[in-house]
A and B are shown apart, each in its own frame.
Chain A
């Protein structure tokens, strides 16, 4: 079974530009979450989508946005890039399932997109 895929894997942009990152979840997974990982702030939640609806959003400025398509694939967009946006952006997908008799959604992470802003 194929895992979560993210494209592109590496990206170099300059300040002020915008960027779009793509995520394809595991087949059958309908929830997609996005996280930013930096050495200073660690892993931080950006947003989560389910059935094309954003259900949760982290504490990030409006320059960070996302969407989900009917096939569960998701994109995130960052506009007016800043140097501090350089990070590894991770996408995770999950599917409601049973574990120990309790419903849970383990999030499975993709390989990430390494964004460098110059």
Chain B
């Protein structure tokens, strides 16, 4: 059974600070996604990481993937209040041929609060 663990689950940080959210998963050959969810809202796709060493950046967020360590990180640089939300990582098993399973297993989410 695929397990996805995120930590921390809760993160309170001051504006301007840097921090990293970690996502560990238990199987290999996977695709990894990061999503953002605002209170009462749906999930917004942030990043898709497809291969070992993949790094994606968008504004103050940067995601990376280490498939050998089965670890993805979401790094926040110089946090601003607008980044307050819950961040989920999700893993999609893929076959040896690279075909996706369309079945995402999510971590519990990291609730980020950025304090002005």
Residues of A within 8 A of B (CB): 31, 33, 35, 42-45, 48, 50, 55-56, 58, 90, 92, 94, 99-100, 102-112
Neighbour of A100 across the interface among B54, B104, B109, CB < 8 A: B54
Complex CA gap A102/B109 in Å reads 27
Residues of B within 8 A of A (CB): 31, 33, 35, 41-45, 48, 50-51, 54, 88, 90, 98, 100-109
Question: Are B103 and A43 neighbours in the complex by a CB distance under 8 Å?
Answer: no
Q: Which residues of A contact B51 (CB under 8 A)?
A: 100, 102
Complex CA gap A85/B67 in Å reads 35
Number of A-B residue pairs having CB atoms within 8 Å of each other in the complex: 63
State the majority secondary structure of interface residues on A.
strand
Q: Which residues of B contact A109 (CB under 8 A)?
A: 35, 42-45
Closest residue on chain A to residue B107 by CB atoms = A42
Other A-B pairs beyond A43-B88, A102-B98, 12, CB < 8 Å: A33-B102, A33-B103, A45-B105, A56-B102, A58-B103, A100-B54, A102-B50, A103-B98, A104-B48, A106-B45, A109-B42, A112-B42
